[in-house]
Structure 1
Amino acid sequence: MDEKSEKWQGLISTKLNSIQPDEAWSTLGDFFNLHKFLPSLATCHKVEGSDNVRYCASEPDQTGTVYWVKEKLVEFNPIKRSYSYEIIESNMGFGSYLAELRVVECDDGGCKIELGFECEPILGWTRSGFVEYMEGGVKGMAKGVEDALCANDGNL
């Protein structure tokens, strides 16, 4: 297989021990509010004139660069507590990128957030570096969900 046809695929998950799946989905199920639960984002909002495209951007880094992405919602399934999306434009070197976010019930209680992805290799990244970056994002998202639910509930 030549390098151009290679795809990176992965499944990243993080367990939330004290949160039920429907509770986690109540926060993560809003495609346009990811910035509320992903600490690396400064904003995430619906693109004007579109029902299913979001714009997400970081705070400026030490050089003043803001990293941004436009993502299109491909499928939304509240029964399965999942949605799929693809990157349609960014300044981060992405080509083809498709991902699915799921909230899954665990047999031993609680739930887990899963992010499955398939993408073309990203210019300037290694696969392992990208997976590590995505793992940090999913863990940050899990902490954001826990913090938001604790703030709303007072206790879990």
Structure 2
Amino acid sequence: MAEESKLKWEGKAIVELPGTGAEAVWPFLEDFCNLHKCFPIDTSYQVEGIQGQPGLIRYCASTIKGDDAADETTIKWAKEKLLTIDPVQRCLSYEIVDNNIGFKSYVATLKVVPVNGDDAKLAGCKIEWGFVSDPMEGWSFQDLKSYIESSLQFMANKIDQLECSEN
């Protein structure tokens, strides 16, 4: 319960891709405005800025269906701004600048780390997703952490599938 009362929620999720090298995974994250290709959302696209440059803003959205036929569907969306990007270190950071999900302040850092150094013959990497957020109304810290962990696992599985279909 200590996390619940903190002024900021801070955490990290890590997923390992034992058969896929960092050099194959990084392009999926580096392609900031095409997140929907490997993340469980319906759409993402560039709103403003220059591709691959800090200041780039993407719009991400998903349609959420109600629990029963009488419930309306809603669109949950966020605009996210690329803060930093480093293709050599394979990391980027972004912040949510506007949304209807409930984030007041949210900054994330994604990093692709080779598991066996940069030896491409010994493929394998991990994706690290760190975050700092204001507490969200109606959510617990664990809710947010679980959402990030499951989304990251989805992303890793999708990248593995896409990589296997290309090879």
Give the TM-score taking structure 1 as reference length: 0.90
Q: Distance in 2 between matches of 1:114 and 1:106?
A: 12
- Identify the residue that residue 60 of structure 1 maps to in structure 2: 64
Matches for 1:1-156 after TM superposition, within 5 Å: 6-38=7-39, 40-47=40-47, 49-51=48-50, 52-62=56-66, 63-107=72-116, 109-153=123-167
SS of corresponding position for 1:73: strand
The one-letter amino acid of 2:137's match is L
Distance 1:140 1:98 in 2: 20
Structure 1: 5+ residue stretches without partners: none
Determine which structure has more spread, i.e. the larger CA radius of gyration. Answer: 2
Give the superposed CA RMSD. Answer: 1.6
**Any gaps of 5 or more consecutive residues in structure 2?**
51-55, 67-71, 117-121
What residue in structure 1 maps to residue 69 of structure 2? none
Q: Hey, which bits of structure 1, 4+ residues long, moved more than 3 A?
A: none
The TM-score with structure 2 as length reference comes to 0.84
Letter in 2 for 1:145: I
**Any idea what the Cα deviations from partners look like across 1:62-114, whole Å, max 9, x if unmatched?**
23011100000000100010110000000011011110111011138500111
Q: 1:32–1:44: 8 Å Cα contact kept in structure 2?
A: yes
Q: Letter of the 1:64 partner, please give it.
A: T
Percent of aligned pairs with the same residue? Answer: 38
Q: By how many angstroms is 1:5 displaced?
A: 6.5
Instruction: Indicate the SS of the match to 1:26.
Output: helix
Aligned mates of 1:61, 1:88 — CA distance in 2:
25
